[in-house]
Amino acid sequence: MGNSSLICIRLIVNDLNDDESTVCPMVFSVDDVLKLRKLGICGILSGTLPTATQQNIFLSIPLKLMVEETIWLVLHGYAKLDLIKGPMSRHFNSILESKSDQLWEISRKKLLQSFELQREYKKEQHELKLKQLGLEQSKNDVSATSSSNDNNKFIESSLFVETSNVSSILDYSVDEKREITKSSTSTDLLHYLITNYSTWNNYLLYQSLKEQSYVMLPGGRFGGLYIAYPGDPLRYHSHLTIDSALDYYNDPIDFISLTSGARLGTAVKKLWVIGGVKENKNHTMNETINVEDSGLHSLKLGTITTSFFSIEWAGFG
C-alpha cells in the first residue's frame, strides 16, 4: 500500500510524560473512514455541534478508534500516526487566530467555485428539459428573457453549501510553536501506545479475533473489553463479549467474576468469552515486534497462540 493511501490517525495526547494522561486516536477524514470500514474497523463516531447535540446515529467525524485497532492498523501497514499534544480546542483556537484570513479566503473561493458549477449544471439541465418538451424559444423573445430571469432566481435559491470530507483547519499548524507535531516516528508512537495504553496480550486477543473475521467494538456497555460481530454491525447483532486477557499460566480464574459474566452474557443473548495467550512466558513486546522502521509491519509471534473459552449460564434445576 502506497503512502498516498495510508490512513492518517491523529493521536490526541495531553502529556507524553504524564502517566495519567489520556490518549485518543481519531480519524478526521470521511475517505479514511470508508477505508477503515472496508478493513472491518468501524470505530465510534463522535463529532457533533455543541449547541445541537444529536443521537449516536446522527454523529459525524471525527471517528474514535480503540488503541488495539490503531496498533493493528499501523503494524499491518494501513495507517500512519500523527501526534497532537494537548486539547483540540487549544489547537483550533491557535490555528484560527494565526490563519483565519487565509482559511476564510480559501473557503470563500471553494464556495464560489461550487456555486458556479451548480449554476452551470442546473442551466444545462433546464435547457435540456425545454428541448425535450419542444419549448425552446429565441433569446430575442421578451417572454424568453422574462422566463430566463425567473429561472435564474430559482437556480439561485436552490444552491447549496457542500460540507468538505476533510478538515481544512487541521492541515495548518502554528509555524513557530509547531502545535501539530509530526517529528515522532510511527514506531515511537506505536511503542508509546502499547506501553501506556494497552497490554500486549489484549492486543493479541484482538488480533486473533480479527484474523477470524470478527468485527470488534468497545465492550464496556456489556461489561467486557470488546464485543465481537460476525460481520458488519449494520448487518449483524454482536455474538460475543470478550473479557480482558488472562495470563494463561499465572492468573487465577475468579469464579464469582466468571459467574457474573456468564449470567450477564446470557441475559443480553451473547456468549461470555475469556481468553489468554499461551507459551509467551519468555516473550516481551520488544521481542515480538521488529522495531526497525523497515520491518515495522512484521510480527515475530513464534509459538505464541491464543486460546478462547466461551461460557453460558445454564441456571439450576
* Strand pairing category for 215-218 and 44-47: unpaired
The predicted structure's pLDDT at residue 217: 94
Active site residue 270: yes
Active site residue 281: no
Q: Name the residue with cell 461489561.
A: 223
The pLDDT tens digits for 139-184 are 555 555 666 677 788 888 888 887 777 777 776 654 334 444 444 5
The pLDDT tens digits for 110-119 are 889 999 999 9
Provide DSSP, 225-278: SEEEESS-TTT----EEEPPPEETTTPPP-HHHHHHHHHHHHHTT-EEEEEEEE
CA–CA separation, 279 vs 294, rounded Å?
28
Q: Give the amino acid at 179.
A: E
CA–CA separation, 245 vs 306, rounded Å?
9
243, 285 in Cβ contact below 8 A?
no
Please state the rounded mean pLDDT for residues 105-109. Answer: 87
Active site residue 214: no
Which one from 237, 278, 281, 300 is the annotated catalytic residue? 237
Which one from 78, 203, 214, 229 is the annotated catalytic residue? 229
> Which has more confidence, 185 or 269?
269
